[in-house]
Amino acid sequence: MAEPRAVNRRRLLGGGAAVAGAAGIGWGAASSSTRAVTTARDPMATVPFHGPHQAGIATAPPDHAAFVALDLRPGATRADVIGVLKIWTDDAARLTQGGPALGDTEPELARRPSRLTVTVGLGPKVFGVAGVQARRPSWLAPLPPFTIDRLEPAWCDGDLVLQVCADEPTAVAHAVRVLCKGVASLVTVRWVQRGFRNAEPGASPRNLMGQVDGTVNIAPGTADFDRLVWDDGAAQPWLRGGTSLVLRRIAMTLDTWDEIDRDGRELTVGRTLDTGAPLTGTKESDDPDFAAVDRYGIPVIPPSSHIARAHHTSEGERFLRRGYNYDDAPIPGHTSNSGLLFAAFQRDVAAQYLPVQKRLAEFDALNVWTVPVGSAVFVILPGVRTPGDYLGQSLFE
Ligand code: HEM
């Protein structure tokens, strides 16, 4: 495939930093920074814990998240797995409703739940340990390697996962601490990935490349969401109401991204930076027209652009994107260590996620500035319908 137009254009222009002023964007009327902030987060707000699905997937994403992977200690048994899930169920049911966990050593920190959600999943190994191998979903395995991957084992895999989200980072930190220390005799923490995002309710957030990110997605409460995200129990009856999580840690090479101009950046993704509208439209919500060409016959949205390559080629290739930005301390000699915690939820990883990931790994103009450094796949347990039941109960019955 041809070199991305973004890069060609940079050469034509002789490089040059992409400064906002160059494209006429500044602190004018269109800038959201001049508007009064009217959407204060409510620190007392809670998200229900009980229900057919776990919270934290259809829930509008709070501003902060921590993804925590844990490994079972050597010699762990089925009873240990069940024990961890029972403790987490009790802790999460209390903390998410603004109450302290049993034996909480900092109960005051539980008073501001800030829409806290705790979402629990299992990695492939647990099914063998717990003696339920036949109940393991067929798609539950690490993703195959891709040529774009530069995976660091420190950010990959895991036996159990917690996704903890809340509008206040203190609520996230307290919940993670309680959930991890309560099961420390049975598991060890493998990795923790913290992220953040913010957007006014109903609006899409921006990633750290400055793009509006999250436009094309599956709306909760729709038939599409039910069909594409929630498992219906057809293949594994115990999993009805559950789903899967693919978490990719994708580093952004922001220093080289700085070298391309604004047009180049927009051609790379296929959308404008200002509004997030497709290059063929004027509003973020406009459908991209991948067939549109300019007066020279050149596609307006480059076929190599991220949205052209990521766009589903069949209805079954869609999934929910619910990612968070990360911005960690740079290693010596670098100025940034930022990227995306790309979190995708879908009923079937192999059928829905993999075809899109394979296509992007083959070619995506954005790959020049994005590097997958972590990868993990988990089955997300169904919700706890009845108080007193525990997460994963249907797997062990
Ligand atoms: C769309 C950024 C990685 C799948 C988008 C959009 C942006 C974006 C700005 C357009 C707005 C939107 O619809 O949300 C990024 C960045 C990535 C990344 C910065 C890495 C750091 C991925 C990966 C996948 C993916 C790994 C899947 C394997 C999609 C899909 C769309 C999309 C399906 C919607 C395409 C459409 O139908 O228009 N992404 N993305 N992205 N991205 Fe990504």
pLDDT confidence bin for 382, thresholds 50/70/90: very high
Which one has a higher pLDDT value, 18 or 115?
Answer: 115
Distances (CA, A) of 212 to 219, 270, 391: 17, 11, 35
**What ranges in 237-312 are assigned the alpha helix state H?**
254-257, 262-269, 306-310
Output the ligand 1 site: residues, CB below 6 A: 207, 209, 211-216, 248, 250, 252, 269, 271, 288, 306-307, 310-311, 339-340, 342, 356-357, 360, 366, 370
Question: In the predicted model, is pLDDT for residue 127 greater than 60?
Answer: yes
**What ranges in the chain are assigned the alpha helix state H?**
5-13, 78-95, 125-129, 169-181, 223-228, 254-257, 262-269, 306-310, 354-362, 393-396
Question: In the predicted model, is pLDDT for residue 21 greater than 60?
Answer: no
List the catalytic residue out of 159, 213, 261, 364. 213
Å from CA of 345 to ligand 1 middle: 14
Å from CA of 213 to ligand 1 middle: 7
R_g over Cα of the chain: 22
Whole-angstrom distance, CA of residue 293 vs CA of residue 290: 8
User: Ligand 1: which of 212, 252, 266, 342 to mutate, judged by most atoms within 8 Å of the beta carbon?
Assistant: 342
- Mean pLDDT is lowest, of 31-35, 65-69, 117-121, 147-151, for 31-35
Amino acid letter for position 94:
R
- In angstroms, the first-to-last Cα distance of the chain is 52
User: Ligand 1: which of 213, 252, 267, 377 to mutate, judged by most atoms within 8 Å of the beta carbon?
Assistant: 213
Distances (CA, A) of 43 to 40, 49, 245, 322: 9, 17, 27, 22
pTM: 0.91
Averaged pLDDT for residues 326-340? 96
Å from CA of 309 to ligand 1 middle: 9
In this structure, what token pair is assigned to residue 212?
């509006």
Q: What angle do CA 224, 314, 359 make, to 5 degrees?
A: 120
What is the overall mean pLDDT for the chain?
A: 91
The answer to whether 15 and 259 are in contact (CB under 8 A) is yes
**Cβ-count burial of 71 within 10 angstroms (0-12 exposed, 13-18 middle, 19+ buried)?**
middle
Judge if ipTM > 0.90: yes
- Indicate which residue's Cα is closest to atom 6 of ligand 1: 213
Task: Return the residue matching tokens 């978490």.
Answer: 247
Question: In the predicted model, is pLDDT for residue 147 greater than 90?
Answer: yes
pLDDT confidence bin for 199, thresholds 50/70/90: confident
Å from CA of 360 to ligand 1 middle: 10
| Catalytic status, residue 213 | yes
Å from CA of 38 to ligand 1 middle: 29
pLDDT confidence bin for 27, thresholds 50/70/90: very low
Inter-axis angle of helices 78-95 and 169-181, nearest 10: 150
